[in-house]
Amino acid sequence: MIILGAGLSGLIAAALNPQAKVFEAASQDAQSHRAVLRFRTSAVGDAVGIPFRKIRVNKGIWFGGKFADPSIQLSNMYSYKVTGGYFDRSIWKVDAVDRFIAPEDFILRLIEQVGDRVSWNTPVTELPESRPIISTIPMNRILDLAKLETTDRPEFKFSPIRVQRFRIPRADVFQTIYYP
């Protein structure tokens, strides 16, 4: 098996497929993930053998200078902001929920598990003949490798996710505030 990409998804796939060879265009030093990795269950951590911490997440919506209850207007505003369209989003549910978070060094631990099978600084220039292949690289890149004609190609739009993470002394809380 071959895995294309050694970001978070590729490293998880490699941890679950111990015979897989992984190809990554970037360097090992470029692998980082600054967001708190939050999951609904501990399944990912259990699968890769890295324990996740169970936490309670409190949520709120901040709009017009105060906290607000979910509404159609706020849901639509938030959806359009984050997707460019109107879809049901998690802003509708502001009750506290249990989640599981990966340790801060999760990426580094995954690299330790699979690092010897990763070819870093190795951009793939054509699809390998060996099968199966798991691709975690950007969709536009895999379409280039598949040599699809541009007239047959769907348009993939994406924007980078911006994360701001703050450390507050003597605080151990997990909160989500939606800004429509």
Q: What is the pTM of this model?
A: 0.81
Span 59-87, mean pLDDT?
95
**Span 7-61, pLDDT tens digits:** 999 999 999 999 999 999 988 887 777 678 899 999 999 999 999 999 999 999 9
Does the pLDDT at position 125 exceed 70?
A: yes
Q: How confident is the model at residue 5 (pLDDT cuts 50, 70, 90)?
A: very high
DSSP codes joined into one string, 70-87: --HHHHHHHHHHHHSS--
**Span 131-173, pLDDT tens digits:** 799 999 988 888 888 876 656 666 766 666 676 777 889 999 9
What are the residues whose beta carbons fall under 8 Å from the beta carbon of 70, sequence distance 6 or more?
A: 61, 91, 92, 93, 94
pLDDT given for residue 153 in this prediction: 62
**Span 89-109, pLDDT tens digits:** 999 999 999 999 999 899 999
Q: Can you state the angle between helices 8-16 and 106-114, rounded to 10 degrees? A: 50
